[in-house]
């Protein structure tokens, strides 16, 4: 059964947006983001201090797509007003390892006693701060922060050993203020 759907997204104070067809540009005190959305039959427009996503006749799948687009827009608006912040912890029990940053690469030395350094590639557009055993990653783009954190966890994944004993690695302990 096809229905008319309208989704309202309120714009926080201090954030300005520009809508150009299916492209959305958001500017805030922390930075700016732009993204192209696949709207298909949907319309995106700004009325006052709100963004309206609307569609005259929509099916279940089109409703799911509209909700996904709305979630992405809300994340963009949150990010440009206050940066997303993930906190990671360096944990080791057997071999202490060191971390050093060189541009957009982070080198992990002596992980599980290995002679070869492991390398973590970081996406552009993030701020990283390494203090002893705490790593803080910040950005206006939630997807970049999540990808950088996942790159750290993947790079220090224990392979070929008993994971119950060798629990060394870098783990996410806090996502945007929420403890994990």
| Residue 58 structural domain | 3-81
Calpha distance 75→16 (Å, rounded): 14
Number of domains in the chain: 2
What was the pLDDT predicted at 161?
87
What was the pLDDT predicted at 5?
87
What was the pLDDT predicted at 81?
94
Calpha distance 53→25 (Å, rounded): 15
What was the pLDDT predicted at 1?
64
| Domain end point (choices 81, 111, 126) | 81
What was the pLDDT predicted at 40?
82
156 and 167 part of one domain: yes
Write the pLDDT tens digit of every residue in 94-104. 889 999 999 89
H/E segment holding residue 120: strand 118-121
The stretch 130-152 carries a mean pLDDT of 95
39 and 108 part of one domain: no
39 or 78: which carries more pLDDT confidence? 78
pTM strictly above 0.95: no
Which strand ranges, in their side-by-side order, compose the sheet holding 23-27? 16-20, 23-27, 32-36
45 and 76 part of one domain: yes
What was the pLDDT predicted at 3?
81
99 and 170 part of one domain: yes
Write the pLDDT tens digit of every residue in 15-59. 999 999 889 999 999 999 999 998 888 889 999 999 999 988 888
| Domain end point (choices 29, 64, 81) | 81
The tokens of 84 are what? 């997303």
% residues pLDDT > 70 (the chain): 99
What was the pLDDT predicted at 99?
94
Q: What is the pLDDT of the chain when averaged over all its residues?
A: 91
Calpha distance 138→129 (Å, rounded): 9
Q: Which residue has the tokens 């006749």?
A: 57
Cβ neighbours for 45, distance < 8 A, ≥ 6 positions apart: 19, 51, 52, 54
Calpha distance 18→33 (Å, rounded): 11
% residues pLDDT > 90 (the chain): 69
């Amino acid at each position: 059964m096809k229905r008319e759907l309208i989704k309202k997204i309120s714009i926080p104070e201090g954030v300005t947006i520009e809508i150009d067809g299916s492209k959305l540009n958001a500017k805030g005190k922390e930075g700016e983001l732009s993204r192209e959305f696949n709207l298909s039959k949907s319309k995106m427009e700004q009325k006052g201090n709100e963004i309206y996503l609307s569609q005259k006749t929509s099916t279940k799948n089109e409703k799911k797509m509209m909700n996904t687009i709305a979630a992405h827009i809300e994340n963009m608006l949150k990010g440009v007003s206050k940066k997303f912040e993930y906190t990671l912890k360096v944990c080791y029990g057997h071999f202490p390892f060191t971390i050093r940053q060189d541009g957009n690469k982070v080198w992990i030395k002596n992980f599980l006693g290995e002679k070869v350094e492991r390398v973590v590639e970081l996406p552009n557009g993030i701020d990283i701060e390494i203090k002893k055993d705490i790593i803080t990653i910040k950005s206006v783009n939630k997807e970049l922060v999540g990808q950088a954190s996942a790159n750290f966890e993947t790079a220090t994944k224990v392979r070929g050993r008993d994971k119950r004993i060798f629990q060394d690695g870098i783990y996410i302990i806090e996502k945007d203020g929420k403890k994990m």
